[in-house]
Chain A
Amino acid sequence: MTSTTDPRELTVGVGAGGLATADMVLNIGPQHPATHGVLRLRLVVDGERIITAEPIIGYMHRGAEKLFEVRDYRQITVLANRHDWLSAFSNELGVVLAVESMLGMEVPERAVWARMLLAELNRVLNHLMFLGSYPLELGAITPIFYAFREREELQTVMEEVSGGRMHYMFNRVGGLLHDLPAGWLGRVESTIEDVRGRLPDLESMLVGNEIVHARTRGVGVLSAETVAAYGVSGPIARASGLDVDLRRDTPYLAYDQVFSSGGPGRVVTRTQGDSLARLEVLLEQVHVSLDIAQHCVGVLGSLPQGPINVKLPKVVRVPEGETYYATENPLGFNGYYLVSRGDKTPWRLKLRSASFNNVSVLSETLPGNLISDMVAILGSMFFVVGDIDK
């Protein structure tokens, strides 16, 4: 039983022609179990086959960019870690890196490596969420419990260091909020070891399952050209064979050392571009991120004691000018375009979020597929609605 064979068509004849059919408009969302949030898809369907699909967004628009303009940079960090609520640490990291680059600020080395460690743990947390929720959309209810068991362990170490389980708010302009607790690195290391040891349980339920293969192989194929045309990034782009990763291509923090030859970092790619490839990329990235995190723990352990942040003036004013700072968030490129007029608030802070571009490609991929495939494709686009609507 494979899904790659051509669909058979059976025409039931009434008189000389087939049955008369009428197209139906089906609104998936804004309240629907598969959109995990308030995304809405307006589908025109013929039976179960989708003729046109139009993503309608904005139900969760909170005007984040406008709100940025009336807040100082620490307050912006609070706000910016919320649009993609599964990648809070990576979101706040982008803001402080942009501000630091405009201030020309040198961040202590311990802060650099600690940030990288936390960013990679955050990436694992994010990916585990989707590795649990995607099977749920395909009808498998067990993997999410396996994924959440690992998430709990990782959230415990994140909570110990930052106090937060979701919105960490641990970054500050110039470094981190405070130093790492005593003995924390050892606990991180054993947690990474545990998570890595139990991952095969989850993997065998996903890529080791025939029905998952039947539902995802060859479904929702994205060509590398389409990916490039729509600005799709992150794991979805890499599953289509587009070898881009900002951690390697425009290194920030100390990623140049991690992604150099001999380092633990590598860019995971596939060429098929279907839903299965996207799932595989996500799974493999979890392994890579755990490797990088482990490497960071090793480096942090060997660094001498020292400050973890830079002493800041009471009011941080970014000098006049503009910059664009993009980081590789778990879901793709996350960029901040910061324009400052020398005030304590930015004049404009434009947010380029990954999910917005990743979801816009849906109107291209969905037509021609069945409603069941729609769910399989939608789930494999790994989006966060807040990241779309901002």
Chain B
Amino acid sequence: MSLLEVVVRSVVVLAAFLVLPLLVGQTEHKVMAHMQGRLGPMYAGGFHGWAQLVADGVKFAQKEDVTPREADRWVFRLAPAVSLVAYLVALSVLPLTSGVVGADVGAGVLFVLAAMAVGILGPLMAGWASANKYSLLGGMRAAAQLLSYELPMVLAAASVALAAGTLSLSGIVEQWHPLWLVWQLPGAVVFLVAAVAELQRVPFDMPMADSEIVFGPLTEYTGLRFAFFLLAEYAGIVVMSLLFTVLFLGGWQGPFAAALGWLWTLVKASAVAFVVIWFRVAWPRLREDQLQRLAWLVLVPLGLAQLAITGVWVVLTT
């Protein structure tokens, strides 16, 4: 791989990383608004407020960057980057269509899950370093929540990898068959729930719970660093939706996959992102202990059962 190719690939991934989250963000504005009988942003940019998030970004950039005096300075300042970069790294190995991927990694499933696990450190660092009681509570909630949701997520992903016989993301898509929608369904549900919990989105947004602990780990953040955390959330939705598409929905597979594969991937991922947004409009948030009960008593057993079913199936058919 020449240096030029590496640069081009990096720039393209970075561009996707900056554009897709904004698209998801704007979609969320509009979807939520129309579900609630409102219009949402209408002025910025002229046509249905398409530039609202750009305007928000400009505003965030103008704000003062405050670091509290008692805060652990370096940890506090580094936290947004840790959150954000993890998703950027994860995005770089997700295939758009056959042969189109930022970096083709052999054990892609493992790589993505490992990269996203690093992102968890962001809220934890922010919560601990802010020297704020609300942040601390939020950080603790985030730690408890994110740790308990790694396991079901890994179990569900392992089931798919087992069924495909490969850890490569592209390999999984190539092995995918519509029947997977049926017999990998429990795994898909477990993965989606775990993904929403990992993203700290409603109904699992306890680490941020604004009506309880103000804004959790983000309470003390201002300006661009705050914006980076928000961007990380939407980048997380993009990564999770794409990953869900690749693992469970057959990625680029569909009619005319040779020409329209990229479109199929994006359409399927958008549908998943839409569902994630829909959750936020429809539901209140659970309590932290109720979430833990859901994780350990429902999702982990379900994930294990799925893994067992897949294992038996693979052994019987090969």
Q: Which residues of A contact B (CB under 8 A)?
A: 1, 3, 7, 24, 26, 32-34, 47-48, 135-142, 145-146, 149, 205, 209, 211-212, 214-215, 370-375
Contact = CB atoms under 8 A, between A and B. Distances in A.
A140 B137 contact: no
A139 B290 contact: no
A34 B212 contact: yes
Contacts of B290: 1, 3, 214-215
A140 B133 contact: no
Contact of B202 (A32, A33, A139): A139
Contacts of B35: 142
Interface of B: 32, 35-38, 133, 137, 140, 202-203, 205-206, 209-214, 280-290, 293-294, 298
B281 A141 contact: yes
A3 B289 CA distance: 9
Contact of A33 (B36, B210, B293): B210
Contact of A1 (B205, B211, B293): B293
B281 A371 contact: no
9 contacts: A26-B133, A142-B35, A142-B282, A145-B37, A146-B36, A205-B282, A209-B283, A371-B213, A375-B211
B287 A372 contact: yes
Nearest to B286: A211
Contacts of A139: 202-203, 205, 209, 211, 283-285
Most buried by A among B284, B285, B290: B284
Contacts of B36: 141-142, 145-146
A209 B284 contact: yes
Nearest to B134: A26
B145 to A, nearest CB: 13
Given A140-B282, A142-B281, 19 more contacts: A1-B298, A3-B287, A34-B212, A47-B140, A139-B202, A139-B283, A140-B283, A140-B284, A145-B36, A146-B37, A149-B37, A209-B284, A211-B203, A214-B290, A370-B287, A370-B289, A371-B212, A372-B209, A375-B212
B289 A7 contact: yes
Contacts of A138: 211, 284-285
Nearest to A7: B289
A353 to B, nearest CB: 24
List 4 A-B pairs, minimum CB-CB distance, nearest first: A139-B285, A140-B284, A138-B284, A145-B36
B147 to A, nearest CB: 13
Contact of B288 (A136, A370, A375): A370
Contacts of B298: 1
B284 A135 contact: yes
Contacts of A32: 214
Contacts of A142: 35-36, 281-282
Contacts of A7: 289
Contacts of A375: 209, 211-212
Contacts of A33: 210-211, 214
A211 B211 contact: no
A19 to B, nearest CB: 13
Contacts of A214: 286-287, 290
Contacts of B214: 32-33
Contacts of A137: 211
A138 B133 CA distance: 21
Given A145-B36, A372-B206, A34 B211 contact: yes
A373 B211 CA distance: 11
A145 B281 CA distance: 11
A32 B215 CA distance: 11
A375 B285 CA distance: 12
B31 to A, nearest CB: 12
B118 to A, nearest CB: 24
Contacts of B133: 24, 26
A48 B141 CA distance: 10
Nearest to B202: A139
A50 B282 CA distance: 29
B284 A212 contact: yes
A139 B201 CA distance: 11
Contacts of A374: 212
A371 B137 contact: yes
Contacts of B288: 48, 370, 372
| Best-buried of A7, A135, A212, A215 by chain B (most CB within 10 Å) | A215
Contacts of A24: 133
B280 to A, nearest CB: 7
A27 B297 CA distance: 34
A132 B280 CA distance: 16
Nearest to B285: A139
A186 B213 CA distance: 47
B254 to A, nearest CB: 33
A137 B211 CA distance: 5
A136 B211 CA distance: 8
A26 B136 CA distance: 11
B137 A215 contact: no
Nearest to B215: A33
B293 A373 contact: no
A5 to B, nearest CB: 8
A173 B281 CA distance: 47
B34 to A, nearest CB: 11
B51 to A, nearest CB: 24
Contacts of B212: 34, 371-372, 374-375
Nearest to A216: B284
Give the one of A7, A372, A373 with max B CB within 10 A.
Answer: A372
B101 to A, nearest CB: 37
A135 B284 CA distance: 7
Contacts of B140: 47
Contacts of B211: 33-34, 136-139, 375
A149 B287 CA distance: 29
Contacts of A371: 137, 212-213
B38 A215 contact: no
Q: Which of A136, A137, A138, A205 has the most CB of B within 10 A?
A: A138
